[in-house]
Chain A
Amino acid sequence: MATTMTADEISAIEGRHPQIFKRPAYRRFWPLLLIAGTVFYLAYALWFFSLPQVLKESHWERLPLFLSQWISYDLQPEFRLDQPQITPKYPRFSALGENPNPDWVIRNPDGTYTVQIDGEAKSVTFDKSKAVIVAHGETVPISLTGGKPQVTGPVPGWVTVHDDEVVAKMGFVGEVRVTVDRVKVRKRFLGWANFVFDTRSPFFGKSAGEVFSLIVSGPELKPGTSNLALAADNIWNNAQWQHGDVWTKLLQTIVMAFLGTLLGGIVAFPLAFFAARNITPSGLLSQVLKRFFDFMRSVDMLIWALFFTRAFGPGPLAGSAAIFFTEIGTLGKTYSEALENIDDKPREGVLSTGANGILVQRYGVLPEVVPIFISQTLYQWESNTRGATIIGAVGAGGIGLKLWEAMRTNSNWANVFYMVLLTLAVVFIFDNISNFLRRRLSRTLHDYNRLQAAQG
């Protein structure tokens, strides 16, 4: 049931809506110009950051490795073959503690050693003269007698033969490196090692049940201290995960955001009344205050953070002060804008009863703006909780610096992930608290918006 329009009808429609069909050229072409400008700018940015060069030199193969290190750890036993007796050696501070005796390192009756990297299917068996690597359903024998390691038979793709070393990669679970005088194994485990007790703790290596029974009824492991207190102390001071330090720093981040936002709100609140055009007694004062707010905002949080770090020394005090100063500007600006948008009628009503200045603000203005003020403050609190993490990295206290330091070594990704998870949890919790509080306020806000709409 298609209908066809006659030419007259088409031109009639065109005539009725000139703003759609007869637009001036600049209006028709500005989107095109915008797109062209964007493309041009991107080409410039490509050149500016020498992106092709950077991408060519980047190491994307590291990404999966780093990501896997977030949720796993590895053990690297080394076996010296040039000593009279082959013995496994573990690096200092290995996750296994001082007396490692893992069940995946097997001493066979015939004097050879077997290291199971992933059960029988991925393993290496060796003595001083030869090594046999098993993985991916293939068996690779290596002779160690000829002065350098030599693979006897075909070399599969997962084995690389260097001059003096044979490297067998077994995927996520680890790898084996064989030279004539040593065998190095890297075995990767999913999870976080020694998350609760570190290797120095007397509770190390015990099952949850054993620890529980020790705490409840065991003999005192350290004379003069109850086992419960000892366990708590061991967890808090875990050398590898530093729970105590991490949680304290996390609390500092929370405190920085809370204190900075709250103090900023307290200072901005009275100032905003003098900055709002419709309330202030003097236009000059309004201008001065507004420029002051702009100044506080434009001197970036980073600059404040660096200044206060120098003034007070590194720590959460510097961070709180930086957020406080920035927030005076941000909240002052938003508060005064909210005040300028109020409905004047309640104020006039209170004024007409002969109330003085303060009473007019209290009963004619405040009821209208307090929900907006609180909502805006909560919003800033939320965003400062995230921001406090970053300014921490320049020394302003909190978890930021710890995160940055853990990342710089490129080896502590599990610790980084632990801190990230905690930060995410904090952001999530505070978002929800703030959202909940703002929703409670939204009914009042809704009334406000309706009034605004009615006012036009």
Chain B
Amino acid sequence: MTASATIHSEATRRQADAWRRQTSLRRFYTALGVGLLLVAMFATMWFADEANAGHFFERLPHILDFLSWLIPQDWNDVWRALFDIASPHDKGTQEFNFPLGRVYVWGGFYIPEYFELMLTTINVALVSTFIGFVFAVPFSFIAARNLTPSPILRLVVKRFMELLRAFPEIVIAGLFAAIVSIGPVAAIIAIGLHSIGALGKLFYEINENIDMRPEEGLRAVGANWVERVRFADLPQVLPNFMSYTLLRIEINVRISTIMGAVGGGGIGEELKLAISRGFGAKTLALVLLLFVTIFLVDQFSAWLRRKLVGEQAFLMSA
């Protein structure tokens, strides 16, 4: 320390005081914020516990009892349930009637029931993501500030997409269940409409951040709106669009599973049944299949996204 540092001028001291005051004020606000958050957390915990059918501390000692039905008496039953192979424990009850669900394709060749249901769930997710993509792309060009000059048109499209995004999917699914009959088609419409809103928002935000120089170049040679969008905007944004669409597929597989549990077809319904009836082997088979599928879809999509846009895909998803 040099001597100059020990000389405390009036100005330095005032500065140090101000800094100290500021820091303690900030600490106070941080503590206040954390305190409020903790109060809110305990209040909501109490509220959730009160409103629940069974209470947390009352059920906690039994949580492992509840898992006991999940352990099958014969672990091989899990494989049998998965591949629809007859079980020696079959006494005609629903718990072990594995071969009943076989979907025969060609002679003796069959697709096991759960794989068929999983395929339905994945197809629902893929088709609805496709619907979302097809409508979200044109909407996103119309909604982007830098591409569409009309503020009214932009506002209408943006609000419309916002509505689609916020509208609870089960209501759309319920509405269309009454029109096209309960099942996967109603789920596709519901998830598809939601995807239009969700993808549209992400897409137009990408559109608004593009480099406008190619667009100006095309404008200078007299290209019309469609041509400008096609040749200046689309090449810049397509990798990002694809990346978000892949991310959407991951989300939609999950949503379509849940939709299945409320009547949208696919694996969700069977899972709900198996868990509520306490069919251990069937539940484990379904959970295993669902887990592996979702894991593979996630990994594949992550790999593809990394190839498309690099590490950026993972920063942006935040």
Other-chain contact of B44, A41, A49, A259, A389 (Cβ < 8 Å): A259
**CB-based contact A389/B261 at 8 Å:** no
**CB-based contact B56/A317 at 8 Å:** yes
Query: A307-B275, A391-B258 known; A403 and B41 CB under 8 Å?
Result: no
Report the minimum CB–CB distance from A199 to chain B (whole Å): 27
Other-chain contact of B169, A60, A315, A390, A427 (Cβ < 8 Å): A390
**CB-based contact B174/A404 at 8 Å:** yes
Q: What is the size category of the interface that chain B forms with chain A?
A: 35 or more
Chain B residues within 8 Å of A251, by CB: 47
**CB-based contact A404/B170 at 8 Å:** yes
Query: A66-B178, A306-B272, A403-B171 known; A394 and B258 CB under 8 Å?
Result: yes
Report the bound CA distance from A424 to B171 in whole Å: 12
**CB-based contact B295/A294 at 8 Å:** yes
0/1 interface trace, chain B 174-191, chain A, CB 8 Å (1 if under): 110111110111001000
Query: Which of chain B's residues has its CB closest to A248's CB?
Result: B51
**CB-based contact B290/A300 at 8 Å:** yes
Query: Which of chain B's residues has its CB closest to A314's CB?
Result: B53
0/1 interface trace, chain B 112-144, chain A, CB 8 Å (1 if under): 000000011001001100100000000000000
B79-106: which have CB < 8 Å to A? Answer: none
**CB-based contact A372/B318 at 8 Å:** yes
Chain B residues within 8 Å of A410, by CB: 178
Stretch at the interface among A51-59, A163-171, A360-368: A51-59
Chain B residues within 8 Å of A420, by CB: 167-168, 171
**CB-based contact A424/B170 at 8 Å:** no
Among B262, B268, B278: residue with most chain A CB under 10 A: B262
Chain A residues within 8 Å of B287, by CB: 299, 303
**CB-based contact A394/B262 at 8 Å:** yes
Report the bound CA distance from A373 to B166 in whole Å: 24
Report the bound CA distance from A57 to B182 in whole Å: 12
**A255 on interface, CB distance cutoff 8 Å:** yes
Stretch at the interface among A112-120, A206-214, A278-286, A334-342: A334-342
A246-299: which have CB < 8 Å to B? Answer: 248, 251-252, 255-256, 258-259, 262-263, 294-295, 297-299
**B107 on interface, CB distance cutoff 8 Å:** no
**B212 on interface, CB distance cutoff 8 Å:** no
Chain A residues within 8 Å of B259, by CB: 390
**CB-based contact B254/A301 at 8 Å:** yes
Query: A251-B47, A334-B317 known; A312 and B56 CB under 8 Å?
Result: yes
**CB-based contact A48/B123 at 8 Å:** yes
0/1 interface trace, chain A 365-409, chain B, CB 8 Å (1 if under): 000000010011001000000100111011001001001100110
0/1 interface trace, chain B 274-311, chain A, CB 8 Å (1 if under): 01101000000001001100110010000000000001
Query: A38-B130, A258-B40, A390-B258 known; A416 and B171 CB under 8 Å?
Result: yes
Report the bound CA distance from A362 to B123 in whole Å: 47
Query: A302-B268, A390-B258 known; A54 and B53 CB under 8 Å?
Result: no
Report the bound CA distance from A66 to B44 in whole Å: 36
Chain B residues within 8 Å of A263, by CB: 41
**B156 on interface, CB distance cutoff 8 Å:** no
Interface of A is mostly: helix
0/1 interface trace, chain A 201-237, chain B, CB 8 Å (1 if under): 0000000000000000000000000000000000000
Chain B residues within 8 Å of A404, by CB: 170, 174, 262
**A451 on interface, CB distance cutoff 8 Å:** no
**CB-based contact B275/A310 at 8 Å:** yes
**CB-based contact B276/A310 at 8 Å:** yes
Report the minimum CB–CB distance from B314 to chain A (whole Å): 6
Query: A55-B180, A303-B271, A390-B170 known; A256 and B48 CB under 8 Å?
Result: yes
Report the bound CA distance from A423 to B311 in whole Å: 36
**CB-based contact B261/A394 at 8 Å:** yes
**CB-based contact B175/A407 at 8 Å:** yes
Report the minimum CB–CB distance from A229 to chain B (whole Å): 23
**CB-based contact A393/B262 at 8 Å:** yes
Query: A301-B254, A303-B271, A312-B59 known; A62 and B178 CB under 8 Å?
Result: yes
**CB-based contact B51/A311 at 8 Å:** no
Report the minimum CB–CB distance from B81 to chain A (whole Å): 16
Report the bound CA distance from A312 to B178 in whole Å: 32
**CB-based contact A297/B298 at 8 Å:** yes
Query: A259-B41, A315-B51, A318-B52 known; A62 and B174 CB under 8 Å?
Result: no
**B49 on interface, CB distance cutoff 8 Å:** yes
Chain A positions near chain B (C-beta within 8 angstroms): 38, 41-42, 45, 48-49, 51, 54-55, 57-60, 62-63, 66, 248, 251-252, 255-256, 258-259, 262-263, 294-295, 297-303, 306-307, 310-320, 334, 337-338, 341, 372, 375-376, 379, 386, 389-391, 393-394, 397, 400, 403-404, 407-408, 410, 416, 420, 423-424, 427-428, 431, 452
Known pairs A303-B271, A311-B62; list 18 more (Cβ under 8 Å): A54-B180, A59-B178, A62-B179, A252-B48, A255-B48, A262-B41, A299-B290, A300-B294, A301-B254, A311-B66, A312-B52, A312-B53, A315-B51, A334-B318, A338-B318, A390-B259, A424-B166, A452-B315
Q: Can you sample 13 A-B contacts with CB below 8 Å?
A: A252-B47, A258-B44, A298-B298, A303-B290, A310-B278, A312-B54, A312-B59, A315-B51, A317-B55, A390-B170, A404-B174, A404-B262, A431-B166
The 7 closest A-B pairs by CB, nearest first: A313-B53, A315-B52, A313-B54, A407-B174, A317-B52, A58-B180, A316-B48
